Amino acid sequence: MTWQLTEDALFLQCQVANKTQAIQLAAASLEQAGYVSSGFLAGMLAREKEVSTYIGAGIAFPHCSQASRETVLRSGFQVFQFPRGVSWGAGKVAFVVVAVAATDNAHIALLATLADLLGDEVKTTLLANAKTKQEFIDYFVKESI
């Protein structure tokens, strides 16, 4: 599967009170897009309890636990911009949340791509402040700023 960000998979100017609400928003969006069935949210919350999905530089990567993999209908992802940030616990704040539905271990390739793309806080700041979907996508795919 190719992991290419499209405007349909991008949501700008999101606001929630906490990471649980961010995960709920992400799960509902993935379900509405046909990537997952009901029950995926419980798997995402279980995964977050096991270990935080915050990966650094203002980025969180919520996905389901291994036990909930059967709720994934097809692999895909959606990206949520939180310009004001969302507390992800332990003093960590996410400005970009990449919610993933992956069959097997398909999400590992996306995580590796994200680590390369989003490895610096300057880029995260630009993504957090992007005003249009095209501007966000341009920053997202640019190798370096």
Q: Any idea what the CATH number is for the domain that residue 80 is in?
A: 3.40.930.10
* Domain-embedded: residue 1: no
Question: Rounded distance, CA 44 to CA 26, Å?
Answer: 9
pLDDT digits (tens, 9 = 90+) for 76-118: 899 999 999 999 999 999 999 999 998 877 667 777 767 766 6
In a domain, 79, yes or no: yes
Instruction: Indicate if the pLDDT at residue 1 is higher than 70.
Output: no
Within a domain: 2: no
SS3 115: helix
Helices (H) and strands (E) in the chain, counts: 5, 5
Q: Cα dist. 91→50, 54, 108, 124, 131 in Å?
A: 18, 11, 25, 17, 26
Name the residue range of residue 85's domain.
9-141
Question: Which tokens in the block code for residue 2?
Answer: 């190719």
The 10s digit of each residue's pLDDT in 57-83 is 899 999 998 888 899 999 889 999 999
Q: How many domains does the chain have?
A: 1
CA 3/CA 67 separation, integer angstroms:
23
Domain membership of residue 4 (yes or no) is: no
* Percent of the chain residues topping a pLDDT of 70: 90
- Is residue 3 one of the residues assigned to a domain? no
> Buried (b) or exposed (e) across 1-22, using 16+ Cβ within 10 A?
eebebeeebbbbebebeebeeb
Question: What is the pLDDT of the chain when averaged over all its residues?
Answer: 89
77 part of a folded domain: yes
* pTM of the predicted model over 0.75: yes
